[in-house]
Amino acid sequence: MATATEIVAIGIVLSLREGIVTFNPTGTNYEMHLAAPAFAGPMEVPIKAIVRVRPKKIWTVASGGLFISPIFGPPKTIQGRVRALDENNMIVHAGGAIHVSLPMDERVYDLANGPLKVGAMVNVTALPGATFELVG
C-alpha cells in the first residue's frame, strides 16, 4: 500500500488570488478554491499537490458515485473511496486525492454502513478552510 505522502492530487493551478489557489484536478471539471498563502509555484502546468480538509461529519455509505461539491469553490462535500487510512488521516479518492484529518470527537462519525477501512465508500462534510500544498 502507498504511504499517505505518495498519494497526491495531480492537476493544474488555474489562478492565485489573495492566498487562494484555484486548483483543477486532472480529468475533472472541478475548480477547487483552496487556501495557499505561501504558494509561489507554477501556473497552468501539471503539478502534484496535497489537498487537505477537516471534517464536520464523516459517514460510511453503502453506494454512490465519487464527487466533490460544489464543482466551483471551496470543497464542502466529498464522497469517494478510502485509499489510505491511519489513526490521524484518511485519503479519499473523489476526483483526486483528498487528505481528511480524523478528529478524536466520536460525534463526527456516523459509521452505519461499516467501519472506516481502505476501499470503503465515505461521505465527508468539510469545514471551511480546505488547504493546498505543492508537492516537490
- Residue 1 pLDDT: 53
| pTM of the model as a whole | 0.94
pLDDT digits over 37-65, tens only? 889 989 999 999 999 999 999 999 999 89
Beta bridge partners of 11: 25, 47
pLDDT tens, residue order, the chain (136 aa): 555 667 999 999 999 999 999 999 999 999 999 999 889 989 999 999 999 999 999 999 999 899 999 999 999 999 999 999 999 999 999 989 999 999 999 999 999 999 999 999 999 999 999 999 999 8
Portion of the chain with pLDDT greater than 90, in percent: 90
DSSP 8-state class, residue 95: S
Q: Is 88 left (phi over 0), alpha (psi -120 to 50) or beta?
A: alpha
